[in-house]
Every structure is written in structure tokens, then in C-alpha cells.
Amino acid sequence: MDVPALIARQLKALPDKPGVYLWKNAAGEIVYVGKAKSLRARVPSYFGPEGDSTPERAALVRQIAELETIIAPNEAQALLLENNLIKEHKPRFNIRLTDDKSYPRVAVTVTEPFPRVLVVRRVNIPGARYFGPYTDVATLRQTLKIIRRIFTVRSCHWDLPHDAPNRPCLDYHIERCRAPCVGYQSEADYRRMIDDVLLFLEGSARPSCATRSSGWTSWSSRKRSSWWAAATPTPSGWRATGTTRAASCCACGTAG
């Protein structure tokens, strides 16, 4: 299969690193976004024997006029970056990852009088604060349990204070909640605790005195480090500024 001269030169210069590649047509429009464990191994395959393995692949290859790549720190973050770019540009040849349900996020329903902390796959709760997306679903759910244990965030779905039970649930009796549903915890006190949850999710290690006394100090620094290792930062702020660029973390701007 003939390879355009410009593309051929770009293929020879590809690094053996994880990242995302963007195929563009002659008009400069992104027609496909993909991710690779190794850009050098993956990208040239479009012009090999697999180039016309399906009618869709053959149609894509016929439109390729330009290549842009973004180097990611690791394969997991390349996957997240691919996800975000597909949703942003909606390339015509991408079928997967166009649904907003791809990866879970942590949502804090800050507009509610007694906010909840949830794991969601859609960004559709008005006014909520979102953190993520995250690649490790099992670790994320375990993290939610840790947050509820340390910060005593309510796990119920009552529309407080308008709709509430007559008595506290089991979480209150095992000291996992302070029962704001029946007035045992004030809205102001609960809100202070939610502020600490937000600081925690943002990366702060300075919860309030009330939160520290409720269990923060019993959670070792080793476990906190494990949590942050699992909570891969979202690369939604990464951008390529040339043919091949290193991605940078949107949270701090440092190169990966």
C-alpha cells in the first residue's frame, strides 16, 4: 500500500512510547483517534496488510493525509486521553467511546442541602462537582467506601430535608453517618464535612479538626498514597501543539 511521503517520514520518527494518534484528512479534519501501547508499533500497521482488512478500515486509510501524535506517560492515561479526544472531536470513523458512560467519575452533589458523594458515568447532575474520570472501577468504589468511613458522608438517597425517614439507619449505629436525616447533625456541620471531602478529592491533606478526630489520622499515609496512585488524573486538559508532543497533566501542567 502506497504511503504518502509526509506520512512515511512521520512513521519513521515515531517513538516507542504509549500515546494517542490522530488521523486527519486533506482538509485537516480529524477522522480517527486511536491509542497505542507503542506508537512505533501500532501506527504503521494502517499501511500494512491490515490496512484494508475491513471496508471501514480501507475507507479510513484512503482519507489519511496527515498524522498527529501525543505521547502519554503510560497506557492508562493514553486510554483516557483517547476517550476525551473522541468525545471532543467526534471523528466519523470512531464508533467506540462516543457515549459519555465510558469511565466513572466521583460526583459531589454540592447544591443539595446535605450533599452526597456518588460514583457516576454521566455528567448530568446539575451543579455537582466532578472528579475523574478514573480507569480502575473496583479501586474507585473501594475509595468511596473509605470516604464514607472517614468523613461519615450519608449513603442514603433521601431528598433531605424535604423527605426523611422517621429514625436513623444502620450507618448511624455503626458510626458511619451522624444521621442528618433525623436532625442529629446540623446542615452547617454537615457542610463543613463536605468541604473536607472536596479538599480530599482535590488532593489536600488538611482536613478540619473535626474530621481528623473522626478517623482521618487512623488512615495511614501508605493507604492515602495507594488511593492517589489508583486515581489517575483526567487528561482532558492535554493538547498537542505539533506532530509529536508529550502530554502534560491538566492539574499541574508538568510533562508526563
Residue 185 near residue 145, CB atoms below 8 Å = no
Residue 256 near residue 73, CB atoms below 8 Å = yes
Would 94 be classed as within a structural domain? yes
CATH number at residue 77: 3.40.1440.10
- Better pLDDT: 40 or 200: 40
Q: Give pLDDT tens digits for 105-132.
A: 899 999 999 999 999 888 889 999 998 7
Average pLDDT of the segment spanning 146-162: 89
Cα 230 to Cα 217: distance, rounded to the nearest angstrom: 21
- Better pLDDT: 57 or 252: 57
Would 18 be classed as within a structural domain? yes
Would 57 be classed as within a structural domain? yes
Q: Could you give the number of structural domains in the chain?
A: 2
Task: Please state, in angstroms and as integers, the Cα–Cα distance from residue 238 to each residue in 73, 105, 121, 133, 254, following that order.
Answer: 12, 18, 21, 14, 10
Q: Give pLDDT tens digits for 182-193.
A: 999 999 999 999
Domain region containing 180: 136-230
Cα 184 to Cα 58: distance, rounded to the nearest angstrom: 65
In this predicted structure, the answer to whether residue 148 has a pLDDT above a threshold of 70 is yes
Q: Do 147 and 77 reside in the same domain of the chain? A: no
Average pLDDT of the segment spanning 49-61: 82
In this predicted structure, the answer to whether residue 253 has a pLDDT above a threshold of 70 is no
Distance in angstroms between the alpha carbons of the first and the last residue of the chain: 35
Average pLDDT of the segment spanning 137-148: 80
Would 122 be classed as within a structural domain? no
Show Cβ contacts of residue 117 under 8 Å, excluding neighbours closer than 6 positions: 106, 107, 108, 109, 144, 147, 148, 153, 197
Percentage of residues of the chain with pLDDT beyond 90:
45
Would 105 be classed as within a structural domain? no
Give the model's pLDDT for residue 91: 92
Q: Do 221 and 241 reside in the same domain of the chain? A: no
- With cut-offs at 50, 70 and 90, classify the pLDDT of residue 249: very low
- With cut-offs at 50, 70 and 90, classify the pLDDT of residue 134: confident
Give the model's pLDDT for residue 201: 85
Mean pLDDT of the chain: 79
DSSP 49: G
Would 123 be classed as within a structural domain? no
Q: Do 194 and 240 reside in the same domain of the chain? A: no
Give the model's pLDDT for residue 1: 63
Would 107 be classed as within a structural domain? no
Q: Give pLDDT tens digits for 157-180.
A: 999 998 999 999 999 999 889 999
pTM: 0.53
Q: Which residue has the cell 501542567?
A: 253
Cα 41 to Cα 237: distance, rounded to the nearest angstrom: 26
Give the model's pLDDT for residue 213: 42
Q: Give pLDDT tens digits for 213-243.
A: 444 444 444 444 444 444 444 444 444 434 5
